[in-house]
Amino acid sequence: MTRSTSTTRVCFVALLALAWTAGGSRAADLAQVRAEPNLEKRARLALDESDAALAAARSDYQKGDSDRVTTDAAKIADSADLALLSLDQTGKDPRRSFRWFKYAEIRTRGLLRKLDTLERDMNFADRPVIEKARTEVQQVHDKLLQGLMEGKPK
């Protein structure tokens, strides 16, 4: 066996292990995000988690599992709220230290577009679940945008 073949096999096994561990519990992932001590990184991880929950919701809806779609929709809203809370806890002025606030605003805007697309793809009777999550993410987006435009309240 050559060196490149063994290296390729090791990389393949590592990728399989990574894919296997990535399919873990979503609740545990959100708990890990909450445990992150760096507040800006916590906000970014929470937004990553909301994107993953949205992908899971789309997949679960296509499989016909409405209970899991409801759980995923709640996780989307919780993750967006956690991102906003984490950025608020930094105590930074969004107009002076706008990097993470603008990043979160852009990500929530993209999340809103994806939620809107999912909602349109869903049956009319199934839409209220996603509509509630979209409303909560819209509120988070509006607060982020307001903070960027007006600054920190005095």
How confident is the model over 70-118, as pLDDT tens digits?
999 999 999 999 999 999 999 998 988 889 999 999 999 999 999 999 9
Range of 119's domain?
Answer: 25-150
What is the tens place of the pLDDT at every residue in 115-129? 999 999 999 999 999
The pair of structure tokens assigned to 98 is 């706008």
Angle at 59 between CA 54 and CA 64, to 5 degrees: 120
Q: What share of the chain is helix, strand, coil (3-state, %, to 5)?
A: 85, 0, 15
Total domains in the fold of the chain: 1
Q: Which residues of 84-122 are buried (b: 16+ CB within 10 A; e: fewer)?
A: bebbbebebebeeeeebbebbbebbeebbebbeebbeeb
Asked, for residue 82, whether it belongs to a domain, the answer is yes
Is position 124 within any domain? yes
Residue 110 covered by a domain:
yes
Q: Is the residue at 92 inside a domain?
A: yes
The answer as to whether 8 is a domain residue is no
Whether 4 is covered by a domain: the verdict is no
- What residue type is assigned to position 48 of the chain? D
**Helix orientation angle between 26-34 and 66-89, rounded to the nearest 10 degrees:** 10
- The answer to the question of residue 49 being in a domain is yes
63 domain residue, yes or no:
yes
